Amino acid sequence: MADATNRGRIDMAVRFNRRIYLFEFKVVEMVPLGKALEQLKSKGYAEKYRRYGEPITLIGVKFSRGSRNIVGFEIEAV
């Protein structure tokens, strides 16, 4: 499921095994830490998916520009 909402574009949405996972990806050298998960919440990306009645998990993933690896992530169930 790839989707845009009326508040922006979700980086990735996955509906699997009766659960919904919403992802936001950020490069940490460009964006302060914690902004990926904050964006998922502040833009209300989960609202569009509540109609399914399935558990929703928000996942903010941070990448290092230099190493091109994941350097952190945050997860929150909503």
Q: Are 40 and 21 in contact (CB under 8 A)?
A: no
Here the CATH number for the domain that contains residue 20 is 3.40.91.60
| Model confidence pLDDT, tens digit, residues 6-22 | 567 889 999 999 999 99
CA 70 to chain centre: 14
Q: Are strands 19-27 and 56-63 parallel, antiparallel or unpaired?
A: parallel
Q: How many domains does the chain have?
A: 1
Task: Check pLDDT > 80 for residue 2.
Answer: no
Q: How far apart (Å, rounded) are the C-alpha atoms in residues 71 and 15?
A: 25
Q: Are 31 and 24 in contact (CB under 8 A)?
A: no
Beta bridge pairs of residue 72: 62
| Model confidence pLDDT, tens digit, residues 19-63 | 999 999 998 876 566 688 999 999 999 999 999 999 999 999 998
Give the structural domain span for 9. Answer: 4-77
Q: What is the DSSP code (8-state) at residue 35?
A: H
